[in-house]
Copies of this chain bind each other. A is one copy, B any other.
């Protein structure tokens, strides 16, 4: 296809740019060692992420007022600390653990791939993460975003249409001038339905060794790549 009309790449972040699961396990193990806790941190990470969609859904349905992801993460964390019988943590330690989401590590190809893609395209987040979370993550990991946009500035969580359309509008672009980059077929389906171009980047171990979903592209997305380096090559960067 012809990519000359595309001005910006808009990125899903959790799972697509960063390896949230391995990073949360690392953070949990560090805390566990420091405080002598015996916890299955892989199970903990999966449980924490498992509460993600149900919590977003309450905001999407307006059962609760707009709540940024940091606060949803904290509500989920408080619940999991009880369920996993983790006690004795000071408020500062719980807050530090909640901010593990600000310290997620990028996939090994992400930073180098983004640097190549940035030469030709505007790079923006289109994530459900809040701005402060994404800014902290970018500074720590060296992610060279031109703009940190997405759910919080739109006050709507993906896949609600406002998250995508507000991001394109803030970039001064039509949806057809934006390419959504994600490791999740559902995210691309929502973006595509609004006129975005689409790039699927496979992250087959996002959910660990037994991952069953999003192992491959489920539709003929405009680009299918197995890394950000591969994506850059396919886009001629």
Interface residues of A (CB under 8 A from B): 70, 122, 130-133, 135, 138-139, 146-149, 152-153, 170-173
Contacts and interface: CB of A to CB of B under 8 A. Distances in A.
Contacts of A139: 122, 146
A138 B124 CA distance: 13
B130 A153 contact: no
Residue of A122, A132, A138 contacting most chain B CB atoms (<10 Å): A132
A60 B131 CA distance: 25
Contacts of A146: 135, 138-139, 148
A173 B68 CA distance: 13
Contact of A153 (B153, B171, B172, B173): B153
A30 B132 CA distance: 41
B122 A173 contact: no
9 contacts: A122-B135, A122-B139, A132-B171, A132-B172, A132-B173, A135-B146, A135-B171, A148-B148, A153-B153
A152 B131 contact: no
B147 A170 contact: no
A204 to B, nearest CB: 31
